[in-house]
C-alpha cells in the first residue's frame, strides 16, 4: 500500500524559489529550509510538534504566491514559464507536509492529530485556490490547445497532458458559483476523512482485548505472550496481557488461540469498532459518501466512482464491475470447498471429544484453516517461524533478491537521526556503485502508528532538481520483549517483500519531473510492482539464502520448504473472497448517485444488502475491512480504488509468469523490468509501459492459476 498524504500538492517540486522567502523567518524551524543531511534526509532529531503548523502554513502562503506569479506573468504562456515553473513551486509546503503526514502515520500523538484536524480544511481550500484559479488554468489550457505544435519530448508532453487533466477534473472549467460549491464540499470532505482516520486509530487502540488469565492465551508462542505482556505494561496494566488490534477484520491471534470463547471475544472486539460511542464512524461514513456523490454530480459525473475511474487504467465503472463479477463465482466456490473441509474437521474433533459439533463461524476460520493446512501439508506456522527472523528476512531475503535482480547493494548506517528507535536506515547503492537513495525500515507495531503496511517517500526523485529518493517501508509486526527474537509468519515475510516492491518503484525512479516520478501512477497500477515483488518470497534460491534457523543457522529443511511453497495456494478462496467483499463494498458505496445515499442509521444495512446482492454475504467470511474501519477508502486515498489490488495483481502475475519463462532471478530480467517499468513512473501511459515489458495485453489467466481459481485442465 502507498500512504496517501493529506494533500498531494499541485506541484511536487522541491526547490525553493524566491517567493518562498516571504513566509520564512524562523531559523529555528528545521522544516523551513532544505535539510543539509545526505539526500535531504529529514532532521528528525530537530523536528518538534510546534514546527509543523507554522511550516505548513508558510508553505501554503509561499506556494500560493508562486502560483499567482505564474498566472500573472505578462509573457505569453510557454512550457517553461508555466508547467516547469509550476513543478518548481511548492517546495516548502511539500517538504513540511511530507514530513508531517508521514510522521503522523508512523508516530503520532494527540498534538499532531489536533494539527491534522486544523490544517485539513485549510489544505483543501489551498488546493482549490490553485486548481480553481481561472488565470492559471487559462495558461495551461492555451498550451494544451497547442500541444501538437510545441515540439515537446514525450515526458514533457505527458506533464502537459496530466496537468490539464488534473485541473479539469478538479473543477477548473466550472463557473464561479459551482466553484464556490466545490470549495465547500472539498473542505467538508477533508475534515471528515481526517475524523474517520482518527476515529479508527482511537477505537482500534481502545478495542484491544485485555486478558486476565495466562491460560486464555494458550496457543500463543512465548514471543507473542511476551509481546502481549509488554503491550499491557505500556498501558499500565501490569500482570495482565493485551492483544492489540490490527486494521483488518480478522486478527492474527485468531489463528492460534485455543479458546473458542477468546477467539470470539477478539473477533467481536474487531468488528464492533466504529459502531458506537465517541468514535462512531457511521455518521462519518454517511456524510463522506453523501458529499462525494454531490461533488461528482457537480463535476458532471454520475457518481464518485465514475469520476475516480476515468483517470485510472480501468477507465470506467463497467470494467471494474465486470472484473469483480468475473472473479466472485470461482472465489466463492473455492471458499465453499474450503469451508466444507474445515467443517468436517470441526465435526470430527467435537464428536471425538463427546461434544455436539458447532457451525463454522468467522472467528473459527483462521484457527481451523491452520489445522487443515498443517494436516494437508504436514507443517504448522510454529515450525516455520523460527526460520524467518526479521533481520535475516530483510537483509538476506528482500535485499538479496534486489541485489541479484538489479545489481544494487545496501549498507546500514547509524549516523542519521531516527524518528523512532525501532527504525533502521540503509544507504542504497546503484549497480555502478553510486548512491541510489536511502531506505528506512519501520516494522514494529505501536499505539502511535496506523495499522497495516505501507510505503511512503520523504524525498521524491527528480532529475530536474538533481534529487535522489528517500523512501520508507512500514509493517505492524508485534514487538517481542527485548530478550526474544522477532520471528515472522510466512504471510508477514510476503508482506515485507510486497512493500519493498513499492520501495523499488520509488528508488528506481528516473523521471525529470517530480510529479511524474516513482509511485506517482494510477492506484490500479501502483500496486503492480509491489505485488510482483512478492514472487521472490517464494523463490527457492531466495528462500535458501534467508530462511535459516535463528538459533542454529540451519537452513529451512527442503521438505519443509517444499510444503511452504505447496501451501502457497491454500485458503486462496477465502482470501480472495474476503478481499472481493471489501472491493465490492467500496464500489457500491461510491457508485451511489447524489440523493440516493443512506443516513447514518442505514450504513450497516446498506453494507449487508450490497454484500448479499453481490453473492458475498457469507456467514463464515467477513469482508477484509468492514465499512466503519475501511481506512483505505474513507481516509486513505483508495476511494473507489480498492479494486486496484486485484487489477494490479493481474499485471503482477503476468510479470511473474514472464520472469519464470525467462529464467527467474536473473540480472538481465531485473534490468529489463527496471528500464521498461520501474524507472518510468508516469512519464508515459502506464499500460503502454507494461505492454512494452510484457509484449502483450494483460492476461487474467496467470492470476486465476496463481490463486488456484482456474478451472482444472483436462487430462
pLDDT in tens, 264-306: 999 999 999 999 999 999 999 999 999 999 999 999 999 999 9
Would you give the DSSP letter of residue 90? -
**pLDDT the model gives residue 713:** 53
Residue 67 lies in a domain: yes
156 and 231 together in one domain: no
Confidence of residue 527 (pLDDT cuts 50, 70, 90): very high
**pLDDT the model gives residue 11:** 30
**Helices and strands in the chain: count of H runs, count of E runs:** 27, 7
Confidence of residue 26 (pLDDT cuts 50, 70, 90): low
164 and 227 together in one domain: no
Cβ contacts of 470 within 8 Å, gap of 6 or more: 39, 40, 41, 42, 437, 438, 440, 457, 458, 459
Would you give the DSSP letter of residue 395? I
- Average pLDDT estimate for 136-140: 98
5 has a pLDDT exceeding 80:
no
Burial class (CB within 10 angstroms; exposed 0-12, middle 13-18, buried 19+) of 238: exposed
Per annotation, catalytic residue among 370, 499, 527, 607: 499
40 and 84 together in one domain: yes
Rg (CA), the chain: 25
161 has a pLDDT exceeding 60:
yes
- For residues 243 and 228, what is the distance between their CA atoms, to the nearest angstrom? 6
Confidence of residue 715 (pLDDT cuts 50, 70, 90): very low
Q: Which of residues 273, 292, 320 is at a domain's end?
A: 273
154 has a pLDDT exceeding 70:
yes
pLDDT in tens, 422-445: 999 999 999 999 999 999 999 999
Q: Which of residues 173, 196, 217 is at a domain's end?
A: 173
Cβ contacts of 463 within 8 Å, gap of 6 or more: 510, 511, 512
Residue 499 known to be catalytic? yes
Residue 694 lies in a domain: no
Residue 329 lies in a domain: no
**pLDDT the model gives residue 380:** 80
**pLDDT the model gives residue 377:** 86
The string of DSSP codes covering 526-572 is HHHHHHHHGGGGS-HHHHHHH-B-TTT-PBPPHHHHHHHHHGGGTTH
pLDDT in tens, 182-237: 999 999 999 999 999 999 999 999 999 999 999 999 999 998 999 999 999 999 99
**pLDDT the model gives residue 16:** 29
**Neighbour-count burial for 8-36, b at 16+ CB within 10 Å, e otherwise:** bbbbbbbbbbebbeebbeeeebbbbbebe
Q: Note whether 693 and 527 are within 8 A (CB).
A: no
368 has a pLDDT exceeding 60:
yes
52 and 168 together in one domain: yes
**pLDDT the model gives residue 711:** 59
394 and 531 together in one domain: yes
Residue indicated by cell numbers 503491550? 231
138 and 23 together in one domain: yes
Burial class (CB within 10 angstroms; exposed 0-12, middle 13-18, buried 19+) of 359: exposed
Burial class (CB within 10 angstroms; exposed 0-12, middle 13-18, buried 19+) of 485: middle
- Average pLDDT estimate for 648-653: 96
238 and 117 together in one domain: no
266 and 398 together in one domain: no
- For residues 101 and 98, what is the distance between their CA atoms, to the nearest angstrom? 5
The mean-pLDDT minimum among 238-247, 355-364, 567-576, 651-660 falls in 567-576
Q: What percentage of residues in the chain have a pLDDT greater than 90?
A: 89
- For residues 100 and 48, what is the distance between their CA atoms, to the nearest angstrom? 10
CATH code, 430: 1.10.1370.40
109 has a pLDDT exceeding 60:
yes
419 and 530 together in one domain: yes
Residue 556 lies in a domain: no
10 has a pLDDT exceeding 70:
no
698 sits in which H/E element: none
Q: Note whether 252 and 227 are within 8 A (CB).
A: no
pTM of the entire predicted model: 0.86
3-state DSSP percent of the chain in helix, strand and coil, to 5: 60, 5, 35
**pLDDT the model gives residue 357:** 97
480 has a pLDDT exceeding 70:
yes
C-alpha cell of residue 231: 503491550
- For residues 357 and 212, what is the distance between their CA atoms, to the nearest angstrom? 28
Q: Residue 521 half-sphere exposure, CB side, CA atoms within 13 Å? A: 33
- For residues 620 and 309, what is the distance between their CA atoms, to the nearest angstrom? 31
**pLDDT the model gives residue 435:** 98
Sign of CA dihedral 699, 700, 701, 707: positive
Residue 316 lies in a domain: no
484 has a pLDDT exceeding 70:
yes
134 and 221 together in one domain: no
Q: Angle at Cα 443 formed by Cα 440 and Cα 448, nearest 5°?
A: 100
Q: Note whether 583 and 625 are within 8 A (CB).
A: no
Q: Which one has a higher pLDDT value, 447 or 367?
A: 367
Residue 546 lies in a domain: no
Summary mean pLDDT of the chain:
93
Domain count, the chain: 3
459: helix, coil or strand? strand
Q: What are phi and psi of 389, to 5 degrees?
A: -75, 135
- For residues 287 and 589, what is the distance between their CA atoms, to the nearest angstrom? 12
Q: Which one has a higher pLDDT value, 38 or 482?
A: 38
**pLDDT the model gives residue 15:** 29
The mean-pLDDT minimum among 203-207, 338-342, 504-508, 566-570 falls in 566-570
**pLDDT the model gives residue 636:** 85
Burial class (CB within 10 angstroms; exposed 0-12, middle 13-18, buried 19+) of 681: buried
Q: How far is CA 184 from the centre of its chain?
A: 28
Q: How far is CA 469 from the centre of its chain?
A: 18
**pLDDT the model gives residue 6:** 34
From residue 377, alpha-carbon distances to 55, 206, 220, 369, 654 in Å are 56, 38, 21, 12, 27
Residue 471 lies in a domain: yes
Residue 690 lies in a domain: no
Q: Which of residues 151, 173, 195 is at a domain's end?
A: 173
Q: Note whether 83 and 140 are within 8 A (CB).
A: yes
Which has the closest alpha carbon to 630: 176, 285, 194, 130?
Answer: 285
C-alpha cell of residue 375: 494436516
59 has a pLDDT exceeding 70:
yes
Domain extent at residue 241: 207-273
24 and 154 together in one domain: yes
453 and 521 together in one domain: yes
- Average pLDDT estimate for 686-711: 90
Amino acid at each position: 500500500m502507498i500512504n496517501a498524504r493529506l494533500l498531494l500538492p499541485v506541484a511536487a517540486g522541491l526547490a525553493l524559489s524566491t517567493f518562498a522567502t516571504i513566509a520564512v523567518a524562523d531559523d529555528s524551524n528545521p522544516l523551513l529550509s532544505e535539510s543539509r543531511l545526505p539526500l535531504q534526509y529529514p532532521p528528525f532529531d530537530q523536528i518538534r510538534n510546534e514546527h509543523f503548523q507554522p511550516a505548513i502554513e508558510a508553505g501554503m502562503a509561499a506556494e500560493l504566491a508562486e502560483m499567482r506569479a505564474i498566472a500573472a506573468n505578462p509573457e505569453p504562456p510557454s512550457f517553461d514559464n508555466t508547467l516547469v515553473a509550476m513543478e518548481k513551486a511548492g517546495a516548502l509546503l511539500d517538504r513540511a507536509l511530507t514530513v508531517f503526514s508521514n510522521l503522523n502515520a508512523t508516530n503520532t500523538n494527540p498534538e499532531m492529530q489536533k494539527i491534522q484536524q486544523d490544517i485539513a480544511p485549510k489544505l483543501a481550500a489551498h488546493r482549490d485556490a490553485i486548481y480553481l484559479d481561472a488565470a492559471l488554468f487559462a495558461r495551461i489550457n492555451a498550451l494544451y490547445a497547442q500541444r501538437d505544435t510545441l515540439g515537446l519530448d514525450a515526458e514533457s508532453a505527458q506533464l502537459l497532458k496530466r496537468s490539464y487533466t488534473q485541473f479539469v477534473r478538479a473543477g477548473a472549467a466550472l463557473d464561479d458559483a459551482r466553484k464556490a460549491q466545490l470549495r465547500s464540499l472539498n473542505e467538508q470532505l477533508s475534515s471528515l476523512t481526517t475524523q474517520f482516520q482518527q476515529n479508527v486509530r482511537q477505537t482500534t487502540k481502545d478495542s484491544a482485548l485485555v486478558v486476565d488469565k495466562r491460560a486464555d492465551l494458550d496457543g500463543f508462542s512465548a514471543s507473542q505472550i511476551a509481546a502481549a505482556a509488554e503491550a499491557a505494561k505500556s498501558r499500565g496494566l501490569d500482570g495482565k496481557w493485551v492483544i492489540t488490534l490490527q486494521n483488518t477484520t480478522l486478527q492474527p491471534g485468531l489463528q492460534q488461540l485455543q479458546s473458542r470463547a477468546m477467539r470470539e471475544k477478539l473477533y467481536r472486539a474487531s468488528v464492533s469498532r466504529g459502531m458506537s460511542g465517541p468514535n462512531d464512524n457511521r455518521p462519518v461514513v454517511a456524510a463522506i459518501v453523501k458529499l462525494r456523490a454531490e461533488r461528482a454530480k457537480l463535476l458532471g459525473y454520475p457518481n464518485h466512482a465514475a469520476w475516480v475511474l476515468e483517470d485510472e487504467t480501468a477507465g470506467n465503472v463497467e470494467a471494474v464491475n465486470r472484473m469483480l463479477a468475473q472473479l466472485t463465482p470461482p472465489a466463492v466456490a473455492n471458499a465453499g470447498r474450503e469451508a466444507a473441509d474445515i467443517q468436517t474437521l470441526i465435526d470430527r474433533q467435537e464428536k471425538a471429544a463427546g461434544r455436539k459439533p458447532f457451525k463454522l463461524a468467522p472467528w473459527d476460520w483462521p484457527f481451523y484453516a491452520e489445522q487443515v493446512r498443517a494436516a494437508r501439508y504436514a507443517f504448522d506456522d510454529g515450525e516455520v517461524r523460527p526460520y524467518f527472523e526479521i533481520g535475516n528476512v530483510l537483509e538476506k531475503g528482500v535485499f538479496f533478491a534486489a541485489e541479484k535482480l538489479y545489481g544494487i547493494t545496501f549498507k546500514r548506517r547509524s549516523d542519521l537521526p531516527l524518528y523512532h528507535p525501532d527504525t533502521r536506515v540503509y544507504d542504497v547503492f546503484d549497480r555502478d556503485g553510486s548512491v541510489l537513495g536511502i531506505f528506512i525500515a519501520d516494522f514494529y507495531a505501536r499505539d502511535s502508528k496506523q495499522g497495516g503496511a505501507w510505503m511512503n517517500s520523504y524525498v521524491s526523485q527528480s532529475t530536474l532538481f538533481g534529487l535522489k529518493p528517500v523512501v520508507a517501508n512500514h509493517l505492524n509486526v508485534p514487538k517481542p520483549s527485548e530478550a526474544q527474537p522477532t520471528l515472522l509468519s510466512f504471510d508477514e515475510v510476503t508482506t515485507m517483500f510486497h512493500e519493498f516492491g513499492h520501495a523499488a518503484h520509488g528508488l528506481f525512479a528516473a523521471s525529470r519531473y517530480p510529479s511524474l516520478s516513482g509511485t506517482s501512477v494510477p492506484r490500479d497500477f501502483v500496486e503492480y510492482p509491489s505485488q510482483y515483488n512478492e514472487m521472490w518470497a517464494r523463490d527457492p534460491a531466495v528462500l535458501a539464502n534467508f530462511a535459516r534457523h535463528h538459533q542454529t543457522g540451519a537452513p529451512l529443511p527442503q521438505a519443509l520448504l517444499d510444503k511452504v511453497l505447496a501451501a502457497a495456494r491454500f485458503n486462496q478462496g477465502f482470501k480472495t473472497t474476503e478481499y472481493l467483499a471489501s472491493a465490492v463494498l467500496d464500489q457500491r458505496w461510491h457508485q451511489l448517485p447524489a440523493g440516493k445515499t443512506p443516513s447514518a442509521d442505514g450504513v450497516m444495512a446498506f453494507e449487508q444488502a450490497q454484500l448479499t446482492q453481490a453473492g458475498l454475504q457469507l456467514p463464515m467470511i467477513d469482508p477484509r475491512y468492514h465499512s466503519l474501519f475501511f481506512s483505505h477508502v474513507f481516509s486513505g486515498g483508495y476511494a473507489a480504488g480498492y479494486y486496484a489490488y486485484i487489477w494490479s495483481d493481474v499485471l503482477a502475475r503476468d510479470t511473474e509468469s514472464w520472469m519464470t519463462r525467462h529464467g527467474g532471478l536473473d540480472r538481465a530480467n531485473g534490468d529489463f523490468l527496471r528500464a521498461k517499468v520501474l524507472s518510468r513512473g508516469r512519464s508515459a501511459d502506464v499500460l503502454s509501459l507494461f505492454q512494452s515489458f510484457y509484449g502483450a495485453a494483460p492476461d487474467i489467466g496467470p492470476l486465476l492459476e496463481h490463486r488456484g481459481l482456474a478451472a482444472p485442465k483436462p487430462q
